[in-house]
Amino acid sequence: MNTIYFVVPCYNEEAVLSETVKILNSQLAALISGGHASADSRILFVDDGSHDKTWGLIAEYSEKENYICGLKLSRNCGHQNAVLAGLMTAKDFADAIISLDADLQDDTDVIPQFVQKFEEGNDIVYGVRKSRATDTFFKRGTAHGFYKLMALMGVELVADHADYRLMSKRAVESLSQFREVNLFLRGMMPLIGFKTANVYYERHERFAGESKYPFKKMIAFAIDGITSFSIVPLRVITGIGSVIFLISIAALVYSLIAKLTGGTQAGWASIVGSIWLIGGLQLLCFGICGEYIGKIYKEVKARPHYIIEHFLGK
């Protein structure tokens, strides 16, 4: 019988944690009683440097309940690193690991479907949203635009999938071989290979608390995803530079012909416009190159993704 671990990253989730424990306890108990999970299965909460009572509650639940474990990171390392910390810790004990957020937006009623797909031989099972009916028009449009942009850049992604997924032990062990500092887990999953499947669900509103992904963080996350998996932006810069070079040559030839034929005229507006256009393009290109250079800088330093302060395991 397989040992199943739930990995739940938490950041300031004291308002929702009790309900999360209740619901996941119910799901885990159903899996165990149905013969789909062993009695050694656990729920592993990862405290990502919370400033509220999240870790205190995790420690309290862990002391009372045998099936609850806790992992406390030394500081706030970010959602992706918190998920990774949970996966790398749980892989030593589990045959399969299901990662999901603590806010209860992911429909936990489909967890049996995840396990069923795993029992059918799938190493990675993606939780995919059926629709984005609960999103605002702006968020829905930008999300779809992001997936289309990533596809154009040659990045393989499962559309409308976040970090709600099941991974087998060997899939997580394979993930541990990826050494990059800049994490974009949903882009790394297809690179692992192995057999995969999808489980479709409707995403709910947050049970309580506030979103940990405001617009600014969403933009930064998207930029990380693009620059971590594609060099197309650099190639676009090369293309833009080539086009501007050709236009410059044509303008030079035109200027020389006009000069020789005596047809030169004052062109203050066109000159100023060209300077602003080329200057703006240069700054944009420098910015894109800077993103890649910054990533190289981080990769070269190779700092750890996280540091574990406490582990309450069973």
Query: Do residues 209 and 241 share a domain?
Result: no
Do 189 and 255 fall into the same domain?
no
- Asked if residues 227 and 233 have their Cβ atoms less than 8 Å apart, the reply is yes
Per-residue confidence at 225, pLDDT binned at 50, 70, 90? low
Owning domain of residue 247: 232-301
In which band, very low, low, confident or very high, does the pLDDT at 122 lie, cut at 50, 70 and 90?
A: very high
Pairwise pLDDT comparison (291 vs 212), residue with the higher score = 291
Does pLDDT of 246 surpass 80?
Answer: no
Same-domain pairing of 151 and 27:
yes
Top pLDDT among 29 and 204 is at 29
Domain match, 206 and 273 both: no
**Poorest-confidence range of 43-52, 184-193, 276-285?**
276-285
* 214 vs 41: which has the higher pLDDT: 41
- State the virtual CA torsion across 213, 216, 218, 222 in degrees, nearest 10: -160
- Residues 237-259 have a mean pLDDT of 67
What does 86-124 look like in DSSP terms, one character per residue?
HHHHHTTT-SEEEE--TTS-S-GGGHHHHHHHHHTT-SE
Looking at the structure, tell me whether residues 41 and 188 fall in a common domain.
yes
224 domain residue, yes or no: no
Q: Please, what is the average pLDDT of the chain? A: 79
Total domain count, the chain: 2
The mean pLDDT of 142-171, rounded to a whole number, is 76
Q: Is a pLDDT exceeding 70 seen at residue 114?
A: yes
**How distant, in Å, are the alpha carbons of 12, 275, 313 from that of 76?**
10, 44, 21
The SS3 of residue 304 is coil
User: Are residues 263 and 178 part of one domain?
Assistant: no
Both 47 and 20 in one domain: the answer is yes
Banded pLDDT at 55 (limits 50, 70, 90): very high
> Is the CB of residue 94 less than 8 Å from the CB of residue 5?
yes
Question: Do 270 and 141 fall within a single domain?
Answer: no
Note whether 30 and 171 are same-domain residues.
Answer: yes
- The answer on pLDDT for 92 being more than 80 is yes
Cβ atoms of 160 and 128 closer than 8 Å: yes
Strand partners, 218: none
Q: How far is CA 267 from the centre of its chain?
A: 50
**Which helix H or strand E contains 290, and what residues bound it?**
helix 268-301
Tell me: do 19 and 102 sit in the same domain: yes
Residue 222's pLDDT is: 63
